[in-house]
Structures are given as structure tokens and as C-alpha cells.
Structure 1
Amino acid sequence: MQIISRNRHAIMIMLYLARHPGRAASTTEIGAELGISVSYLEQLFTVLRRDGLVRSVRGPGGGYLLVKPADEITGGGAVCAFPQRRRRQA
């Protein structure tokens, strides 16, 4: 099975948040650590938030947290958030 880059990045984000439980991580922090642009992270977080995998915290010290404890989340949840697009056939 081929994992598309959005899925790979979503899993990397989820793993990063799992390593920092109970602490909101900013997109700037995550982007610097994972080498992903902040604007791309925001796009990914929009989908992860919509699917109930992460929540955002506003204000100073804000950022993103996992909704559930890491041991209750499967990698499949992050992958399912970004279904593979079918290629158009000519």
C-alpha cells in the first residue's frame, strides 16, 4: 500500500502530539521539528480537527492537542482522514 504524503505527514503530526501529552503544541513548533511549512500544517490540522482527532487551544500557549490519549488512537484514523484520490483516466 502506498502512503501518500498527506497521510504520512498526518501520522507524523499525531506522533509528535502523542510524545507531548497534555501540552498544546503550536504549528510553528511542529513545523520546525518536522520540517513542514506552517501553512501546510494548518491545512492538515483543519482536516484532523474536523475528524475529531485533534483540538485547538487559542491564546498564548495555544496550539493543538490530541483529543484522546495516544493509546486509544490508531494510525488508521489519521490515514482515513485523508482518503486517496482516484486518478483521472484519459
Structure 2
Amino acid sequence: MISQKAKYALRALTALAQADSTRPLLISEIAVQQGIPKKFLEQILLELKRNAVVESRRGKLGGYLLQRPASEITFGEVLRLIDGPVAPLPCLSVTAYRRCEDCDGEHQCEIRHVFARVADATREVLFNTTIADALDGVDPLKRAELQHA
């Protein structure tokens, strides 16, 4: 499961992606449009800014914009930034590998073998689906299959 914070981050990014790319959106606009508590959204946008996903502009015409095109921001990237490792078990994490405390050996672990397939499939979808894909209702994996057929 993803956290509420990650859901809000993805919703904020979709709002920014749908907006006029030349006009920054105010936090209050995004909060009202997406039903996100304003204070929580401020924290989320600051974290996304620190990680070069969004940028902010000050002043009367200030607000937030995507720093990169929506077609270059993946769900996986956002989830990893907000929630941390994208893995069901610590021994399957790409960025924060940790041996399970009760591990007798990863090579014989039936649980790890099953969840490795789950993790691979999940990462395949999350790191190949962009904010733009979601807005367009596109399944990038099916599109890729059709292109290779």
C-alpha cells in the first residue's frame, strides 16, 4: 500500500501537469482542486522541490510548476521519494537492501522467490508509467507490446 502522502504527491503532480505550464499554481489552488490539506501539501511540495521534481516561483505570480515534463516523471520515482523503497521485503529493495532478520538464506527462501516476482512486476509498472501516461489513460506496457508486435 502507498501512503496518503504519496497519493497526495501524485495528485498534486497531476494537477500541475494539467495546468498551463507557463502559469505557476498556488498551493491553495492545488489544495482546493485536489482536496489536500494545505499544510500537508506544503511539506509534500517542498520535498518534491528538494528532489528536482517541481520548482517554485516567488512573488505575485508565484507558485509551483513541474521542473520536468510530466512525461519524464514516473510513479515509481515519486513513490520512492515520498515513501522510500518500492519493495515488499527489505531483501528485495533496490535502494535500501537489508537482509531479513529471520533469514536462513535468500536462495532457499520460497517467500522471497514469490515476492521477487511481485516486486519486479510492480517496479515494471511504476517506473514505466509517467504522470502524462496516467493523465492520458495510457498503459505504457501495453503500448510497448503493440509497438514490438
Q: Which residue of 1 aligns with 2:3?
A: 4
Q: Which residue of 2 aligns with 1:36?
A: 36
* Equivalent residue letter for 1:60: K
Q: Report the Cα offset of residue 84 of structure 1.
A: 4.7
Distance in 2, Cα, partners of 1:62 & 1:77: 26
Q: For structure 1, list consecutive stretches of 5 or more residues without a partner in the other structure.
A: 86-90
Distance in 2, Cα, partners of 1:78 & 1:84: 9
Distance in 1, Cα, partners of 2:51 & 2:6: 14
Contact 2:3 2:83 in 1 (8 A): no
Show the 5 A alignment for 1:42-81. Answer: 42-81=42-81
Distance in 2, Cα, partners of 1:76 & 1:22: 26
* Structure showing greater Rg: 2
- The size of the alignment, in residue pairs, is 84
The alignment's TM-score, normalised by the length of structure 2, stands at 0.53
Structure 1 outlier segments of 4+, above 4 Å: none
3-state DSSP of counterpart to 1:31: helix
Q: Which has the higher contact order (CA 8 A, sep 6+)?
A: 1
2:77 maps to 1:83: no
3-state DSSP of counterpart to 1:82: helix
3-state DSSP of counterpart to 2:83: coil
Q: Report the Cα offset of residue 24 of structure 1.
A: 0.3
Q: Which residue of 2 aligns with 1:88?
A: none
Q: Which residue of 1 aligns with 2:15?
A: 16
Alignment identity in percent? Answer: 35
Q: For structure 2, list consecutive stretches of 5 or more residues without a partner in the other structure.
A: 86-149
Distance in 1, Cα, partners of 2:74 & 2:84: 18
Distance in 1, Cα, partners of 2:78 & 2:9: 6
3-state DSSP of counterpart to 1:55: strand
1:17-48: CA deviations, max 9, x gaps? Answer: 00012320000100110111211111101110
